[in-house]
Every structure is written in structure tokens, then in C-alpha cells.
Amino acid sequence: MDLFNYSRRQATEVNIGATPMGGAHPIRIQSMTNTVTLDTEACVEQAKRIINAGGEYVRMTTQGVREAENMMNINIGLRSQGYNTPLVADVHFNPNVADVAAQYVEKVRINPGNYVDAARTFKKLEYTDEEYAQEIEKIRARLIPFLNICKENHTAIRIGVNHGSLSDRIMSRYGDTPEGMVESCMEFLRICVAEKFMDVVISIKASNTVVMVKTVRLLAAEMEKEGMAFPLHLGVTEAGDGEDGRIKSALGIGALLADGLGDTIRVSLSEAPEAEIPVARKLVDYILEREGHPYIPGKVSEGFNYLSPTRRETIAVKNIGGDNLPVVVSERLDESDAIDEQFKPDYIYCGQTLPKKRREDVAYIVDANDWNPEDKNVYPAFNYQQMLLLHHTKADMKFLFLPYMALNREVIAALKVHPEVVIIAQSSHINRLGEFRGMLHEMMDEGLKNPVVFFQFYQEEEAEDLQIKSAADMGPLVFDGLCDGIFLFHQGTLSHELVDTTAFGILQAGRVRTSKTEYISCPGCGRTLYDLESTIARIKTATSHLKGLKIGIMGCIVNGPGEMADADYGYVGAGRGKVSLYKKKECIEKNIPEEQAVEKLIELIQNHGDYIEK
């Protein structure tokens, strides 16, 4: 893999009805219905909305044999109206359902965590090597008949590993780790290869973007080591809705797409399924703009581990770098621009003119020629043509705007004697990620420990476009451990407050800085047992001011409580119109009527001392 120059990973071709995947085929876009699979008309109509929005695969939950059998009627209903888009059955807990569904759909998703292994208990279980091998043989004995049915019906499969549904067996040997998720997948893949069944797609997902990105990177490397190149389905589970869902999805999925990984994506939003498609389309199209770009002569630093990166070592310059949280730099050329107190930037860049009215709790950056050493909490910014001025300016913190191609021997020598310099990395390259990586890797090899803030320039008219593009651009830099700060510089009609919110949202989605409540909410499907969208809105209204809490909102038990294991509190569908509440993984109260559940959740948070009034 070339970390500096974009190219797609070459995956094997998989036949999925009339829409093959992998090989030379485009990156496919898909979604999942949230209608009841026994309601043929509702499923057909929602599938049509997904397809008309640009969806290339439509997935539906099949909880039981009846739902699997009804996929035949849904398939017929769509085909009779001229829709040939492949349908995918989503199966959990019951392999018999997968056998039935394989006869009526173009692809079946199975979950290794619950295909043969019993539902997880979250208890510490021990397996001897012999017992572990026996469990693998149970999987083989049950999976092979399913593969034979798929061969007979020309049905593809997706091996879909979820962080929240690893089996107790995997957990006993690997723990709740990316390595465990990879092995859970590889156990099934090895059987498929041995049986010469190659129409296989893989997904390996988590709501934690750090886990998701690391796991897919590990999986791609493990497959390559074992001579496999199956297509990858990318997604961040339980990403949420609104700006959170868009930023979180673009950060995780975009980080992998940028490295050429991924053959189909689903952006999982807690919104109408058809709303996912335009977001996914924008993300894919944005990444693909860099195809065939001018070559970037980057070299991987000897100390960098792509599969398990750690934060780059830097010397702290005031509150930037070192062990400090990444900072947010914002641009304000007009002192009348409002600031949202919850998303207050750490630094404000104000160009040539320092505002007369300044906040004492925010630091300011001004161009070096206009900097006055008498101004308190104000720091000079130089460009790479002002190295002599930088050398002779006395300040305990300096900023240097620097593009990769200007990182010459003179600049490197200057930085070695000026540890007080914070670099603001710039790039106008179509693949700015490649140049940013090139700069940081060269700095690491040169032993430079100056902190680096990434300057990202945009001109967008829609908030969604800014959120998707900036998150996709920052994702790899955050996950590679290279980010000491973010500077979103936007020219357009969007407010500075929105730009600041986006910057903080990116850092939170990357698990490097928390500024608000995080909601781990599933997108909903036919298994959802309550009105998901209205419930999320009610919970957000009551809790959005609680900085630092994680609240899981799950439609059913399939991924909750597992997927929300690191959430502080959980709200999980337990039955039609019934909800169970969790503290971490512990169920505190079961089968609460839906109309009382949000209030009960607030009481639970209050009882544990985590609630403050607005």
C-alpha cells in the first residue's frame, strides 16, 4: 500500500445478481430497510425509495423463517416493477434462516458471532485448544451445507463481523479486540476458501471509529498474508443522526477509502434509509476525485506502524502537542462573529488585524509582520519565506504555515533549533492527505518534534458537504496519530460557529477530544422495537448538554448491549413498545413501557450522579 499516492486495492470479483462487486467495478452504495419484513408492500416501496436515491443493494432483516420466505414475495414485487437491484437478507442467531433466505435473495449476510456460537453472555469462559478446535469444526459442519445452497442458487454471502456481537469463544481467546474481530472473520473465510466458494464479501464494523479503522486495516493485511483479496464492505455502526452521523461515518469510512480499501459502503444513519444514499455518494465521489493525481514522493518513516499506530512524539508548545488534547484553530476576520461557548476554539487566527475586543480565554494568532510583542496571549504566524524573520523574532510560541514541498533543508535546520514553532501544515494538492503524510513522515525521520496543526481549506455552500469532506480528510491523520490540531478554513456562506462545531465533532468522532454527549444510536431496521427517530430526538433534548457522556440507543438486542459496551448508559428495545435500560453492560431495569422509558433513563443518569440541570 502506498500511503502517499491514491490507488484502489484490487479485490476479487463477486457476483451479486445483476450488480457485481470488486474487481474493476465501481464502489457500490447500499442501505437497509427499517420496515417489517413480513409487510411486502412496505418493504417494496421503501426499497424503491432507496434504489431511486441511488442505492445499488438493499438489505432487509430476516429474524425468522417466515421473514426469509417472504423475501421471495418482496423480490417478485420489485422485479415486477422493473427493479433488478440485488436484495440482501440479514441473518442473526439462526443458521436455518440463512439456508432459506439463500433461495430467494442475491446475497445473505451472516454474523460469525452468532451464526453457530451461542448468544454471548459476557461471562469469562475458558476453552482448551482441543475444545476451541471442536468449536471450529461445529462451524465448518454447519457452514458447508449453507455454502452448498448458495452455490446451487448463485447466492453471494457477506461475512459481517460486528464489534458488539463477538462470541464468548472469541472473547475468551482474544478479548474485545480488533485481533479478535479479524480472527472471527478469518475462521469463516478459511472454510469458504477450502470449499472453493469465492462469492464472499466481508464487513467488519464497530461504532468506535478507532476500532473500526484499525480492524479493517488488520483484516486487509491478514487476508493478503493468506492469499485472499475478498471485497470489503465498509461502515461505522450506530453512527447516529444529523451532523454526528455524517461526521462519524465520513471519518471512519473515508479514512479507509482514502487508502484504497473498500468496495461497497453503507452510511448508517438513524434517519430514513434513503437519506443515507446521498451522503454515501458524496463521500465516495469526493475520495475518487484524487484518482490519477500527480505523484507525491513520500517515504514511510521507519518508526511508523500503519496497522497499530501510536501518537507521534512531539514537544509541547504551551497547550499544543505533547500529551495535550488536539486543539481547534478557528478563523475570525470580523470581531462581531459569534462563538458557541460549548465549541469555543483554542486559537483564533485573525490575519493582519488583531481585533480590538478580545477574549481572555482564547489565544490569538496574527501575521508575523503585524505582531506586537506587547500584546498578551497573541502569537505570530510566519510563512515559509520568512525563515530569517522567524529566527530573529523573540516569542515563546510561533506558528509556521508550511506546505510539504517547502520542507527543505533550510526549514528542517531551522525547526531543529526552534522547538517553539508549531507548524500549520498546508496543501493545495488534490490528494492533500498524501502531502500531509509525506511531511509528517519526513519530520519523523528527521527527528523533528514540533507539533503540527492541519490547515484544511473548503468552499462549501451546504453544511453536509463541509462535514463529509473535512471528516474524510482528517480521518487518516487522526487515526495515524499525527494530529495535534485542526484548522478548518472555510470561505463561503456557512457560519464560523458551524465550522467550529464541525472541527470539534471530528476530534470527538476520532476519540481524541470530547466536547459533547456522544450518542451511539443504530440506524434502525425491521427488528427495531420502538420509534427510533422520535426517541433519539427526545433523548438528545434531555441530555445534549451533558458533556462527556456516551449514551447508547439501540433498536433491539442484536448489537445492544454489545456494540454500546463502552457507553455509560444504554436504551435498548426489549419487545414491541418495551425498553430495557443499561448502566455499561449491566441491565438495570427491563421491559419499561416506551412512553416512560426516556424519563426512566434520565432518572437512572440522575441516580448515578451524572446529570446536571441545563
- The helix or strand, by DSSP H or E, that contains position 44, with its residue range, turns out to be helix 40-52
Report how far residue 202's alpha carbon sits from residue 609's, in angstroms, rounded to the nearest whole number: 42
Distance CA 436, CA 414 (A): 19
Residue pair 513/325 in contact (Cβ under 8 Å)? The answer is yes
- Neighbour-count burial for 249-270, b at 16+ CB within 10 Å, e otherwise: bbbbbbbbbbbbbbbbbbbbbb
Is the N-terminal amide bond of 178 cis, ω within 30° of 0?
A: no
Please name the residues in contact with 183: beta carbons below 8 A apart, sequence gap of 6 or more.
Answer: 170, 173, 174
| pLDDT tens digits, one per residue of 84-104 | 999 999 999 899 999 999 999
Looking at residues 380-397, what average pLDDT do you find?
Answer: 96
pLDDT digits (tens, 9 = 90+) for 438-474: 999 999 999 999 999 999 999 999 999 999 999 999 9
For residue 71, report the phi and psi dihedrals to the nearest 5 degrees: -60, -30
What Cα–Cα distance (Å) separates residue 540 from each residue in 244, 518, 535, 603? Answer: 12, 10, 9, 15
Strands of the 550-554 sheet, one edge to the other: 518-521, 550-554, 569-575, 578-583, 586-593
- Torsion on CA atoms 82, 86, 88, 89, rounded to nearest 10: 50
In angstroms, the CA 159 to CA 232 distance is 10
Model confidence band, residue 8 (pLDDT cutoffs 50, 70, 90):
very high
* Other Cβ atoms within 10 Å of 451 Cβ, number: 25
CA–CA separation, 578 vs 587, rounded Å?
A: 14
Cell numbers for 201: 464479501
Residue 60 has pLDDT above 60, yes or no: yes
Cell digits of residue 454:
492541519
**Nearest-CA neighbor of 13 among 189, 159, 262, 231?**
231
Q: What is the mean pLDDT of residues 58-82?
A: 97
> Treating both helix axes as pointing N-terminal to C-terminal, what angle do 463-479 and 496-509 enclose, rounded to 10 degrees?
40
**pLDDT grade, residue 558 (50/70/90)?**
low
Residue the block writes with cell 448491549: 561
Residue 330: pLDDT band by 50, 70, 90 thresholds?
very high
pLDDT of 573: 86
Q: Are 600 and 535 in contact (CB under 8 A)?
A: no
Cα dihedral 69, 75, 78, 83, rounded to 10, equals 160
Contact, 276 vs 31, CB < 8 A?
A: yes
- Per-residue pLDDT band for 380 (boundaries 50, 70, 90) equals very high
pLDDT tens by residue, 405-447: 999 999 999 999 999 999 999 999 999 999 999 999 999 999 9
User: What is the predicted pLDDT for the residue at 585?
Assistant: 79
Q: Which of 140, 163, 442, 501 is nearest to 312 (CA)?
A: 442
Contact 190, 140 (CB under 8 A): no
Q: Which of 573, 561, 570 is nearest to 524 (CA)?
A: 573
Q: Are 349 and 367 in contact (CB under 8 A)?
A: no
Which of the 8 DSSP states describes residue 325? Answer: P
Question: In which band, very low, low, confident or very high, does the pLDDT at 554 lie, cut at 50, 70 and 90?
Answer: confident
Nearest to 531 by CA among 571, 585, 563, 583: 571
What does the angle CA 240 – CA 263 – CA 178 come to, to the nearest 5 degrees? Answer: 60
Mapping DSSP onto H, E and C, the string for 157-169 reads EEEEEEHHHCCHH
**Which tens digits make up the pLDDT trace of 510-545?**
999 999 888 888 777 777 777 788 888 889 888 988
Q: Lowest-confidence range among 90-104, 237-251, 340-354, 546-560?
A: 546-560
With 90 as the cut, is the pLDDT of residue 252 above it?
yes
